[in-house]
Every structure is written in C-alpha cells, then in structure tokens.
Structure 1
Amino acid sequence: MRKFVVSIAAFAAATTVFADAGDVEKRLKEQYPATKITAVRETPVQGVYEVAMGRNVAYTDASGRYMIFGHLYDMKEQKDLTAQRLDEINKIDVSALPLSDAIKTVKGDGSRKLYVFSDPDCPFCQRLERETMPKLDNVTIYTFLYPLEELHPDAKRKAEAIWCAKDRAKAWDDFMKSGKLPDQETRCDNPVERNIQLGRSLGINGTPTIIMGDGSMVPGFVPASELERRLAAGETATGD
C-alpha cells in the first residue's frame, strides 16, 4: 500500500493540468475506443480522476495518458475509497434476476431477501447451508444452482437432479446437509445452464456468492452474525 500512496502522490504532483471530469471522460473515450468507460469523476486528490471501466476502477490524470490501477485510501478516515466505489458499481439489479430459475425458501415472514449462487459440491456452500442459513429468520432465500464444473465435474448433474426433484427446497437441504440426492433422479427442463450464463454475466466466479437485497455482493462463506448484521443494515438504509 505504501508504494501506491507514494505513486499516486507523485502522480498528482506531476499532473498540473486540471479539467472537468466530463472533458476527461470524453478524452478517454476518444483515446481508448475499445475500452468500456462507464463513468469518470474527480477524486479527493487534485488532478486525479477516477475511471470506472465496467466492474473495475482505475485512476488517471487530466490528459488520460497515465493510468494507475490500485486502491485509493483516505488515511485520516481509515477508508478504502476504491473498495467503496467497487461495491457501488458492482451492485446487482435484483429486480432483473430471474427468480423462477431459483429455489425459493421462505423462513418466518420472509420479509428480507437474499439471492445465493451456490454449487452443490462446494464445501463452503455446504457450510453456509449447515451453519448460517438455519440461524436466519424472516427471510426469503432464492438459491441459483451454479455448478463450477471446472472445479466440481459432477456438480452440474447433481444440480439438475435437485432441481428436478418433486420438492426442490427439501432436495437441496437434504443434499447440502447430508449429501443425499433424491432416490430417483429424474430429468426435466431446468435452468442450470441459464444460471451458469447469468452468473458469468454478473462477474460471479466463486461460490457461494450472496447478493443482498440492495444488490451488493458478498463472496464466500459468511457467518450468521455477519449476515444478520448486513441484513439489519439493509433494513436501516431502506427505513431511512
């Protein structure tokens, strides 16, 4: 991190030309037409501009000639400004998720929402189902079966068997907690391949990945206490 702080300080000192963020964005799009530049805005560092490129963030000077890839920290406030921005630009529009392609589980009044991309053969997904989900209440969980075949070659078959079971939610719970697949595996039209394409389009490259009600993504295993904290924070934000 120290190297990056020194680099961006020297970078800012060397770039003495200032410009409106809109002008910088226009210049960048002209200079790099093949790059998907979605937004440019000023940073707290004079002469340094934040460039959002799809799901990534970089920093540039007014000319657009120089780029820095890394994280920008506010040391006084002890905040990672880049991480905050990445959270913002990587939020998912949950209203666009195809919920009919997910296994729906309602706990309590189901008022809170979680969207989970999960692989049946993923150990951390199994741990999430055993340790975290049973402790949550008043939540509706939409589980998108998302087998990572390069890691778990048999996961897609299992995902399809679970989806085609008479009671999908029970079949999912049984397998994740005890490794038991339905006694008779049946074939049916299923959304597993669509889920794989959906997850890739959302930039999901690991499981489990949880999408909160506000669209923010939480990768990896999350303890119940942390997930409950995030759910409560989302409720507070909605209430505000």
Structure 2
Amino acid sequence: MKKLVVALAFAGASAGAFAQGVSVEPQDTMQQQVSVIQSKLAELGVNVKQVHPSPVQGLQEVITDKGVFYASADGRYLVQGTMIDLVNRENLTESALSHVRLEGVAQYQNSMITYKADNEKGKITVFTDITCGYCRKLHRELDDYLDAGITVQYLAFPRGGLRGSGYTDLMNVWCADNKQEALTEAKAGEKPEKIENCNAPVAEHYQLGQSFGISGTPAIILSDGSMIPGYQPAAAISSAIDELNNNKS
C-alpha cells in the first residue's frame, strides 16, 4: 500500500481533516475511543473493521479496509507502518494482517476459481490478474504446483482498479460457465467471452486484497495467513508448506 500521504490524498482530505482531534477524557470507555477513531477515518473514506489496544500505550491497532493503522485514542494522530516487538522478534503488524487474511479467505471461499491437487498437502490462495507476466508464469506452471500436492485457489485482483478492460475481462472470466477453462485461456492471451448480465464479486475480491495490504500481483496467501508478495516456483512454495505443516505437528 502507498505511503500515508498518498493513501490519504485519494480521499481529497487535507491533513487537518484528521488532525482536528476530539478530546477524550481518561474515564472514557474503549467503545467511545473506537467511535471517535471510526468517525475520523470515515471522513477519509476508510472503513474501520476492528479496533484493539496495541502494545504501545496510547495507540490503538486499527484494522481497516485499507490495511492496518495505529491511531491515538482521541482520533488526532494516525500512524501507518510496521510495528515490531524487538524483544520477541515479532512483526506485530504482519501478525494482525495474518488473522485478517485468514478470515477474508474463508469468507470468499465459494467464489474462488480452484485447481485442486489430487494428493493435497496444502493450499495457496493467489490474488491474480490475467495480464501480469508473473501471474501468467505461475499459471503456466500450474501442473508443477498440483503435482507437488499444492491446491491453487484464485481470487481476482485487477491491477488497474475497478475500471477498464482488465476489470471487465476478469468479470467475464468469473462469470463463465467453465471458470477454470476461461481463466486458463485468458492467461494465455485470449479475450474472454463477454457474458451478459455478469454479476461476479471481482470488486469485492479487489477490496479484500487491499485490506490485506496487497498492491500488486500475484500475491500468495499461505494457510497461516502469511503473504508472499510475488511469484514463487512450486518447489519454494512446497518447502514453505512443509515448514508450516511441521510446525503444526
């Protein structure tokens, strides 16, 4: 996701829109603080999903449709970046996003285009576009993933946003009778057949990806919610899945 200055600019808001904090007395409840933060971020077009206390006194962890932020309780200050626990060597921001990703993947399970491995040892969820070179490379190597026991399930992420031919083509792929075949043909460079009255959840997939912190494709989500930003060969993904499986046992 872009830096905060850019991220807020899209809403047409000045810095003062967030800087005008609302005074919150110490006795105010957590719910009141949440309401203040929700209100301030709503002014910037950001939808707040969850608010939790962060390990840093005075900052709340804010899960939004644009990723993870940190906000002061009075709604005056907003921080975008990575919070790291240096004692435990843990990326706290990534941990928060991992939970969000798992919930989101489960929510959209029924609208994925899935290629299932016969001897499945793990799954990956891939946010994909049909025009990006590395998305096409990953799909050309689909048999390598399947042979390695890796089920590949796709969600749509039009790189150009929710307009133009890239978005329309993904809509037509997701509305096709044979979605697997349509996606394979589209990634080979064929123009997807136009489907009348198409109502596919491509926009929802795109917004979900944004909330995961995705800005490009392919983006690979593993079973623990961690994300690999970019293409990786089947052998590398297989090793990552083996490590996750070993950690569970």
| TM-score normalized with structure 1 length | 0.63
Q: Deviation per CA, 1:84-113: give whole Å up to 9, x if none.
A: 3333344434332152x4332122323522
Aligned-partner Cα distance in 2 for 1:80–1:126: 31
Which residue of structure 1 aligns with residue 22 of structure 2?
none
Aligned-partner Cα distance in 2 for 1:186–1:37: 37
Instruction: Give the drift of 1:126.
Output: 1.3
Change (3 A) 1:64 1:95: closer
Alignment counterpart, residue 151 of structure 2, candidates 136, 140, 148: 140
Structure 1 position 210 matched with structure 2 position 220: yes
The answer as to whether partners of 2:99 and 2:225 remain within 8 angstroms in 1 is no
Q: Deviation per CA, 1:121-180: give whole Å up to 9, x if none.
A: 11121122235762452232222344334599443454466557775434533553xx35
Which residue of structure 2 aligns with residue 169 of structure 1?
180
Aligned-partner Cα distance in 1 for 2:75–2:193: 57
The answer as to whether partners of 2:69 and 2:79 remain within 8 angstroms in 1 is no
Q: Deviation per CA, 1:188-209: give whole Å up to 9, x if none.
A: 4686742233321442543223
Letter in 1 for 2:137: R
Which residue of structure 2 aligns with residue 12 of structure 1?
none
Change (3 A) 1:89 1:170: closer
Letter in 1 for 2:183: W
The answer as to whether partners of 2:69 and 2:80 remain within 8 angstroms in 1 is yes
Which residue of structure 2 aligns with residue 194 of structure 1?
201
Instruction: Give the drift of 1:222.
Output: 2.8
- Counterpart secondary structure, 1:120: coil
Q: How does 1:80-229 map to 2 (within 5 A)?
A: 80-99=91-110, 101-131=111-141, 134-136=144-146, 137-150=148-161, 153-156=164-167, 158-159=169-170, 162=173, 168-176=179-187, 179-181=188-190, 186-188=193-195, 193-203=200-210, 204-229=214-239
Aligned-residue RMSD, C-alpha = 4.0
Aligned-partner Cα distance in 2 for 1:160–1:70: 33
Letter in 1 for 2:30: E
Change (3 A) 1:92 1:222: farther
5+ long unaligned stretches in structure 2: 1-25, 42-47
Change (3 A) 1:51 1:42: closer
Instruction: Give the drift of 1:120.
Output: 0.9
5+ long unaligned stretches in structure 1: 1-18
Change (3 A) 1:80 1:159: closer
Letter in 2 for 1:138: G
Change (3 A) 1:91 1:42: same
Q: Return the index of the structure with the highest Cα Rg.
A: 1
| TM-score normalized with structure 2 length | 0.62
Alignment counterpart, residue 84 of structure 2, candidates 73, 88, 93: 73
